[in-house]
């Protein structure tokens, strides 16, 4: 009887561990950014021609500090980035007086034409830049795309979201940044 109980306990524990492994999803996605609470690293990246009239040829993050920012990293090959792009455009149109949205095309070397097509497809009116060598991606500790950073007016990172963003979660973060 005792042997049956021990065997059941061991097999049950292993089965529970196996099921936990299957159900835990993408643990890498749940890793919080090491930048939380710290100043968002500065970068200077070339803007797409859609935005040069308003922002110049290069966007410098340091020059844009002073108001909350949403920095969204995307790539032309990334499916979920296509899903979230309309949400980002709507948020930009709703909060553009208070919050700056910046799109950073990254992990997408020599893909300016594809980047241009992406921007045109969704009519993105917030500034988009190209991180051709993915240096900014490494500086921000990205695990993949899309990832989105919410930066307070003082330049510190409030939150990082891995995966596609939705309007409701962005509103929640923006309201917290504006408070």
Partner 1 sequence: MRRRVPSARRLGPLVIVAMAIAALSAPHAMLAQEGALDRRVFEIANELRCPTCVSESVGQSSSPIAREMRIIIQEQLEGGATRTEILAFFQERYGDWILLEPPKRGLHLLVWVLPVAAAMVGVVVLGVLVRRWQAAGATPVAADPADLARVRAALERTDERPSHVDADAFGERHERGA
- Which residues contact partner 1 (rule: CB under 8 A)? 28, 31-32, 34-35, 107, 109, 133-135, 137-144
| Residue number, 32 or 79, with CB nearest to partner 1 | 32
163 burial level (CB within 10 Å; 0-12, 13-18, 19+): middle
Report, in Å, the least distance between residue 22 CB and partner 1.
16
Report, in Å, the least distance between residue 141 CB and partner 1.
4
Report, in Å, the least distance between residue 87 CB and partner 1.
24
End-to-end CA separation in angstroms for the chain: 63
Report, in Å, the least distance between residue 29 CB and partner 1.
12
Three-state SS at 99: coil
Q: Are strands 100-106 and 128-131 parallel, antiparallel or unpaired?
A: parallel
**CB contact set of 129 (below 8 Å; sequence gap of 6+):** 45, 46, 47, 48, 59, 102, 103, 104, 105
| Residue number, 111 or 169, with CB nearest to partner 1 | 111
| Residue number, 86 or 163, with CB nearest to partner 1 | 163
């Amino acid at each position: 009887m005792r042997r049956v109980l021990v065997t059941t306990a061991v097999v049950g524990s292993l089965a529970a561990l196996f099921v936990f492994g299957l159900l835990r999803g993408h643990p890498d996605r749940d890793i919080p950014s090491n930048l939380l609470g710290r100043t968002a690293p500065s970068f200077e990246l070339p803007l797409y021609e859609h935005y040069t009239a308003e922002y110049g040829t290069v966007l410098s993050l340091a020059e844009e500090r002073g108001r909350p920012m949403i920095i969204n990293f995307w790539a032309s090959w990334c499916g979920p980035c296509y899903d979230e792009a309309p949400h980002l455009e709507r948020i930009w149109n709703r909060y553009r007086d208070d919050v700056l949205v910046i799109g950073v095309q990254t992990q997408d070397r020599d893909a300016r034409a594809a980047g241009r097509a992406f921007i045109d497809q969704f009519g993105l009116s917030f500034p988009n830049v190209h991180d051709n060598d993915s240096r900014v991606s490494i500086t921000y500790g990205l695990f993949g795309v899309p990832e989105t950073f919410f930066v307070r007016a003082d330049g510190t990172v409030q939150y990082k979201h891995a995966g596609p963003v939705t309007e409701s979660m962005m509103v929640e973060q923006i309201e917290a940044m504006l408070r």
